[in-house]
Amino acid sequence: MLYVWNCDKLIFKPKINSMKKILLFSFMLLSALVTESWAQERTISGTVTSAEDGSTMPGVNVVLKGTTNGTITDIDGNYKLSIPTEGGILSFSFVGLTTEEVEIGTQSVIDLAMSADVKQLSEVVVTAMGISRDKQALGYAVSSVSSENIEQKSESDLGRVLKGKASGVQIQQQSGMSGSGTSIIIRGMNTFSGSNQPLFIVDGVPFSGATNEQGDFVDGNNGSSRFLDLDPNNIEDVSVLKGLAAATLYGTQGRNGVILITTKTGSSNGAVKKTEITVSSSLFANEIASMPNYQNEYGGGFDQSFGWFFSNWGPAFEEGGSAGWGNQPAITVGANGNPVLEHPFSTASSATGIPAAFPEYAGREYDWKPYDGVKDFFRTGIIKNNSINIRGASSDGMVSYNVSYGNLKDEGFTPGNTLDRNTVTIGGSAKLTNKFRINATMNYAKTDFKTPPVAASYGSNVDGENASIFGNLFYTPRSIDLMGIPYQNPITGESVYYRQNNSIQHPLWTVHNAGNIQDTHRAFGGVTLLYEISENLNVNFRYGHDVYSENNVNFSNKGGKTGSVANRSGVYQTWNNTNTIDDLNLAVNGNYDLGQDFDISFTAGATSRRDVFDQNGVKSTGQQVFNVLRHSNFAAQDEIQTFRERNILAAYGQAEVGFKDFTYMTLAARKDWVSNLSEENRSIAYPSASISFLPFKAISALKDNNVVDFMKLRVGYGTSANFPTGYPVASTLVLNTQTFQDAAGKDVVTNTSGNVLGNSDLKPEKIGELEFGLEARMLDNRLSLDFSMYNRTTTDLIVDRPLDPSTGFTITKTNVGEIKSNGIEVDLAYDWITNNDGLNFTTSLNWFKNQAIVVDLGLDTDIVVYAGFSTLGNAAIKDEPLGTMIGTTIDRDADGNYLVNAAGSYQIKEGNNIIGNATPDFIMNLNNSLSYKNINLNILFSWTQGGDIYTQTVQTLLGRGVINDEGVDRANSFILPGVNPDGTKNTTQINNSTYYFSNVLYGPDEMGVYDATVFRLQEVSLGYTLPQKILDKTPFGVVSLTFTGNNLWFYTPYMPKNSNFDPNVAGLGIGNGAGFEYLNGPSSRRYGLSLKASF
């Protein structure tokens, strides 16, 4: 061994041989450092700026014409070049800009402003590890979204703002609640056990986009996705690295694609020498977008008889007719001449304590009429968003800085739901000497999310431990005065409501007495130190740190009526999640011309990343004094504690070779070592290669055509791997100090064997992807096309394999099988009208399709249920698409006829039957952008075709009889098509409530599955920029006013019309489950005005 590493010191144990190696290494390092200029006759220098906005231009090629002598401008647009004594022409070139040639003469300083080449539209994009590259050189797909498409939007969640703006990216909200989680999946799922969420890199350093849900979907899984801590108004641009060839340098972390975010703070572009202050201020309204169209003919009850039921199958609000209230002894004509009932508080069971607590309601009349409680329950939330950004640079341009502050107050449409966010960012860069440069950003965010509890509900309370605000809301019978019936017992504080045994928790009680809070303090940022060894070679060291501290509270006062006994006794849970990412990265970057036709740029580096998740808290139960939320006010305490750490060490390298200006090849590789697997399975190497070829530049015969202005063909192959999280190889033992009590009431301590079978042979999941692409611009650059096709294979899938408990374990992580997925992404844009000083009209479209098929699940299993319930969830089944949904179906006979039982209802077939597939057939977004002088209008329309959803909301609305199925008369009866078990044709008549209640709501799961096709007006913005003339006399540089709206309209052709259900909801939370919804919450519609001014 050469040297011994231990954590505190590096101990060299030199042997003669090793000593030599070290000396050699040191010499190489030194020689690299001293390699400097070559003797030349004179030096010319200058700064290149953009003619458009005066910003400095890095990366511009500066060549002495006719020679290979040249350089590129540095990050501040400066260049310096040694040239022979006299004459010569300097050529400045940059892709997308008009090449400029300048006679040198005797000048020693040549500054230049370069302008865009309209014929040569091209762009520089940020790629892995922050390397800026000319897009034409890329052999893989990258989507970019710039600040104007992100800022001043009514959605405050960056993830949701990006929805529809890049092809291949699927964005799904958990619900329309402000601050609820958001799922981002790029190019479909690769795995069903690991995370499919992308890596976030903000200003070069890793950033956690995790969603720490407060529980599981059954007990309530509120929690924000942590990219919510970014203020969209402070984002300069977003690059989405979709494929593996693009993300190789990030290793395992980049397997799901990478979202590279450059904040305004971290951006080195556009530093202006004067100070510029930009202020934006927005005010939006936030409304429920998916309010059902309730019927107002019938009220609460069952079988057209009145009762204080959950269901709305009671008598009509009309007096006459067979279903009229006139037939009900309980409903009479009251003192006010209207039909009345005895108030539910007057008739409630005395055991509920209601009659005693509300003596004033004894004998009181209660109007039998439809109430619009659900509508009145919601509010219009107000969203205020203010931000200020200040940037500038020292007069010599050596130091630049950017400071921003953002404040968001986002009020949900649900009472009790708010999101407050304050962000402060400071960033800057400085040239320390000619050789050193330092860049640093520091961000602080405080995000406070508060919501009433939301948990899976089934049209009859919740099934989990806690309450859910929506669990008892949407099916409120029409005759229930939701907003008028008191919700709190004045003596005990407990929930009171209309049901005679008080078994429904009043939604208003839930709003006022239960909630989930997630208050997050977050600091993140990085420091990059760059040392220029020579013009062609630099070394940079980067340290990134991201820490957040989530303070979670889950509380419910005592007196709730749903969930566990513990919940009803009052619960108070407080815990903190501290998540830390430490990222170190050291890289050498070089850039050389190799003769006339070849140039090479390369990066090689080493990196380490440490992730620590530390959760600590207390859960208390048994509240003593009502409404006092301190642990000391609770009878019993229990611990909440989890700790996870994982380190990744890696070495990586990338080389790009360009041949002339039409062929580029990129080779990259990375090797990761990950700390939570056994040593032999701990590391893996990821090679990748990609080629970009520009035929219209390469083949002279093609150059002069009038149709195609630019074409690029690309092909890339990349690999990655998915490492498990947690401690999958460990064998464990569970200790419980409170399993039971002995006769004396003393807690009994127990051991039980761990249910997870540790697997020391567990290997990382391997992913390979082949990608083809075509990019083209045609018809005078009016039409542009970016087409990608990929084929992805995941092997050695890490499966949370459920085990038969008779093995002694219930689950193990193991490697099995294979998933193959393929997809197509198309970005198409056409400029209908381009009139630089007048009217411009562009339509752009992106289209995406992905399908993943489970090819193999290993030898001894044919189904793995990976999300949801084990009998109603998402399953991987051999030869079926990933995203397949399983559940119970209508039982069928050998001929496929439905089986109907003697009661006239469908017979249920148990087992894991396929009931749908959650994966959409395709997703399309269409954006029309129209501008005329100072006015611009953007309309983003999205279309998700297909994909199924099992929706409890729709089942419940129909099954409880609060909405009418279109074209169905409640007075008519049904005879379900099918046969009786004895083979005869079913002739049993059932009424409406039996059909909807017993078959739709509580029948086979299949009955709750709908095609989730949705057309949506995703985003509209109409902006007006004040003319420059007016501003000339004011201190303002730019003033613009924008109206934006989000989710203004949607249409679901296959959903029951009156449900008005929005399938943009993730009932299983932010994970791999899809296509299930358990009354998780409606979607939101937001609109309002935003003002932006800079001075």
Partner 1 sequence: MKKIIYLIKLTLFSGVLLLGSCESMELDLTENPNLLAPSQASPDFFLSSIQVDFAKEVVEPFGLTGGQVTRIDYMNGRNYLNAYSPNSFDREWRYAYQRMMSDIHLMNTLAVESELWYHVAMGQVMEAYTLLTLVDFYGNVPYSEAFLGSENLNPSVDDGASVYAAAIALLDDAILNFGKTAVDPQYDFYYDGDWTKWIKAANTIKMKAYMATRLVDASAITKFDAIVASGDYISTTADDFQFRWGTNEIQPDTRHPRYADSYTSTGAERYMSNSLMDYMTGKDPGAYSTPVNFDPRTLFYFYRQSSATPGVDGEPADEETLECGLYTAPNHYAGFTYCGVARGWWGRDHGNDNGIPPDGFLRALAGVYPAGGALDDATYDSKVNGDGNGGNGITPIMLASWVNFMIAETQMIVGNDAAAKTAMFEGISKSMDKVTNSATTTDRFDWLFGTATNDAYPDTVALHYGPAVGYTINQFDSIFQVDLSADWDAATTTGKWDILAMQYFVASYGNGIDAYNFYRRTGYPTTLQPNIEPNPGGFIRSFYYPANFANNNSSVTQKTGVDVQVFWDNNASSPGFPIAN
- Which residues ranging from 954 to 983 are in contact with partner 1 (CB under 8 A)? 980-982
The residue (of 460 and 1013) whose beta carbon lies closer to partner 1 is: 460
The residue (of 106 and 807) whose beta carbon lies closer to partner 1 is: 807
In the complex, the smallest distance separating the C-beta of residue 720 from partner 1, rounded to whole angstroms, is 19
Please name which of 427, 451, 448 lies closest in space to residue 439, comparing C-alpha atoms: 427
Applying CB under 8 A, which of residues 105, 484, 805, 977 lies at the interface with partner 1? 805
873 binds partner 1 (CB under 8 A): no
Residues 15, 286: Cα–Cα separation, whole Å: 71
- Which residues ranging from 317 to 336 are in contact with partner 1 (CB under 8 A)? 330
- Which residues ranging from 455 to 474 are in contact with partner 1 (CB under 8 A)? 460
In the complex, the smallest distance separating the C-beta of residue 854 from partner 1, rounded to whole angstroms, is 16
Coil, strand, or helix at residue 1046? strand
Return the half-sphere exposure (C-beta side, CA atoms, 13 A cut-off) of residue 64: 19
In the complex, the smallest distance separating the C-beta of residue 81 from partner 1, rounded to whole angstroms, is 32
Q: Is residue 147 a contact partner of residue 923, using CB atoms and an 8 Å limit?
A: no
The residue (of 644 and 1057) whose beta carbon lies closer to partner 1 is: 644
Question: Count of CB atoms within 10 A of residue 641's CB?
Answer: 10
- Tokens coding 437: 């440069």
Residues 179, 603: Cα–Cα separation, whole Å: 39
The residue (of 594 and 748) whose beta carbon lies closer to partner 1 is: 748
Over the window 697 to 726, marking each residue x when it contacts partner 1 by CB under 8 A and - when it does not, the resulting string is -----------------------------x
Applying CB under 8 A, which of residues 561, 712, 714, 777 lies at the interface with partner 1? 561
8 binds partner 1 (CB under 8 A): yes
Applying CB under 8 A, which of residues 281, 551, 616, 861 lies at the interface with partner 1? 861
Applying CB under 8 A, which of residues 37, 107, 322, 349 lies at the interface with partner 1? 349
Please name which of 459, 449, 464, 461 lies closest in space to residue 495, comparing C-alpha atoms: 461
Residues 654, 662: Cα–Cα separation, whole Å: 19
In the complex, the smallest distance separating the C-beta of residue 1002 from partner 1, rounded to whole angstroms, is 8
- Which residues ranging from 92 to 151 are in contact with partner 1 (CB under 8 A)? none
Helix (H) or strand (E) holding 81: strand 78-83
Residues 922, 918: Cα–Cα separation, whole Å: 12
The residue (of 884 and 1064) whose beta carbon lies closer to partner 1 is: 884
892 binds partner 1 (CB under 8 A): no
The residue (of 1 and 16) whose beta carbon lies closer to partner 1 is: 1
Please name which of 1088, 1092, 1010, 1079 lies closest in space to residue 1048, comparing C-alpha atoms: 1088
Contact range with partner 1 by CB under 8 A, out of 87-95, 433-441, 863-871, 971-979:
863-871
Coil, strand, or helix at residue 137? helix
Q: How many residues bind partner 1 (CB under 8 A)?
A: 129
In the complex, the smallest distance separating the C-beta of residue 752 from partner 1, rounded to whole angstroms, is 5
Over the window 568 to 587, marking each residue x when it contacts partner 1 by CB under 8 A and - when it does not, the resulting string is xx------------x-x-x-
Q: Find tokens 């990019």 and name the residue.
A: 775
Over the window 280 to 319, marking each residue x when it contacts partner 1 by CB under 8 A and - when it does not, the resulting string is ---------------------xxx-xxxxxxx--------
Please name which of 205, 231, 785, 968 lies closest in space to residue 543, comparing C-alpha atoms: 205
In the complex, the smallest distance separating the C-beta of residue 651 from partner 1, rounded to whole angstroms, is 5
How many residues are there in the chain?
1095
Q: Is residue 36 a contact partner of residue 29, using CB atoms and an 8 Å limit?
A: no
- Chain centroid to CA 570: 33
- Tokens coding 330: 């309980």
Applying CB under 8 A, which of residues 11, 109, 335, 565 lies at the interface with partner 1? 565
- Tokens coding 590: 């070089």
In the complex, the smallest distance separating the C-beta of residue 730 from partner 1, rounded to whole angstroms, is 4
- Which residues ranging from 810 to 839 are in contact with partner 1 (CB under 8 A)? 810, 812
Number of H helices, E strands in the chain: 13, 55
Burial 174-203 (b: 16+ CB within 10 A, else e): bbbbbbbbbbbbbbbbbbbbbbbbbbbbbb
Give me the sign of the Cα torsion angle 809, 813, 816, 820.
positive
Over the window 616 to 635, marking each residue x when it contacts partner 1 by CB under 8 A and - when it does not, the resulting string is -----xx-------------
In the complex, the smallest distance separating the C-beta of residue 688 from partner 1, rounded to whole angstroms, is 19
- Tokens coding 777: 């611009």
In the complex, the smallest distance separating the C-beta of residue 613 from partner 1, rounded to whole angstroms, is 11
Helix residue spans in 144-298 (DSSP H): 158-161, 244-247
Question: Count of CB atoms within 10 A of residue 742's CB?
Answer: 8
19 binds partner 1 (CB under 8 A): no
Over the window 727 to 766, marking each residue x when it contacts partner 1 by CB under 8 A and - when it does not, the resulting string is x-xxxxxxxx-xxxxxx-x-xxxxxxxxx-x-x-------
In the complex, the smallest distance separating the C-beta of residue 820 from partner 1, rounded to whole angstroms, is 23
Please name which of 332, 139, 89 lies closest in space to residue 243, comparing C-alpha atoms: 139
Applying CB under 8 A, which of residues 105, 808, 977, 1027 lies at the interface with partner 1? 808
The residue (of 306 and 1050) whose beta carbon lies closer to partner 1 is: 306
Contact range with partner 1 by CB under 8 A, out of 54-62, 125-133, 185-193, 853-861:
853-861
- Tokens coding 282: 């927005």
Amino acid sitting at position 712: K
Applying CB under 8 A, which of residues 154, 516, 888, 951 lies at the interface with partner 1? 888
In the complex, the smallest distance separating the C-beta of residue 860 from partner 1, rounded to whole angstroms, is 4
Applying CB under 8 A, which of residues 3, 592, 1049, 1051 lies at the interface with partner 1? 3
Over the window 350 to 389, marking each residue x when it contacts partner 1 by CB under 8 A and - when it does not, the resulting string is xxx-------------------------------------
The residue (of 162 and 875) whose beta carbon lies closer to partner 1 is: 875
- Which residues ranging from 674 to 693 are in contact with partner 1 (CB under 8 A)? 674-679, 682-683
Residues 222, 214: Cα–Cα separation, whole Å: 6
Burial 6-40 (b: 16+ CB within 10 A, else e): eeeeeeeeeeeeeeeeeeeeeeeeeeeeeeeeeee
The residue (of 558 and 1092) whose beta carbon lies closer to partner 1 is: 558
The residue (of 751 and 972) whose beta carbon lies closer to partner 1 is: 751
- Which residues ranging from 1002 to 1031 are in contact with partner 1 (CB under 8 A)? 1002
- Tokens coding 299: 């009220």
Please name which of 562, 557, 540, 380 lies closest in space to residue 470, comparing C-alpha atoms: 562
Applying CB under 8 A, which of residues 17, 106, 807, 984 lies at the interface with partner 1? 807
Please name which of 502, 394, 458 lies closest in space to residue 1076, comparing C-alpha atoms: 458
- Tokens coding 830: 């056409």
Q: Is residue 101 a contact partner of residue 90, using CB atoms and an 8 Å limit?
A: yes
Give me the sign of the Cα torsion angle 53, 55, 61, 64.
positive
The residue (of 273 and 878) whose beta carbon lies closer to partner 1 is: 878
- Tokens coding 393: 């640079």
The residue (of 679 and 969) whose beta carbon lies closer to partner 1 is: 679
- Tokens coding 419: 């999101």
The residue (of 309 and 1061) whose beta carbon lies closer to partner 1 is: 309
Residue 310 backbone phi and psi in degrees, to 5: -70, -30
- Which residues ranging from 634 to 653 are in contact with partner 1 (CB under 8 A)? 636, 638, 641-643, 645-647, 649-651
In the complex, the smallest distance separating the C-beta of residue 427 from partner 1, rounded to whole angstroms, is 20
901 binds partner 1 (CB under 8 A): yes
Contacts 24+ apart (CB under 8 A), 321-330: 322/971, 323/298, 323/970, 323/971, 325/299, 325/368, 330/306
Over the window 490 to 509, marking each residue x when it contacts partner 1 by CB under 8 A and - when it does not, the resulting string is ----x----xxxxx------
607 binds partner 1 (CB under 8 A): yes
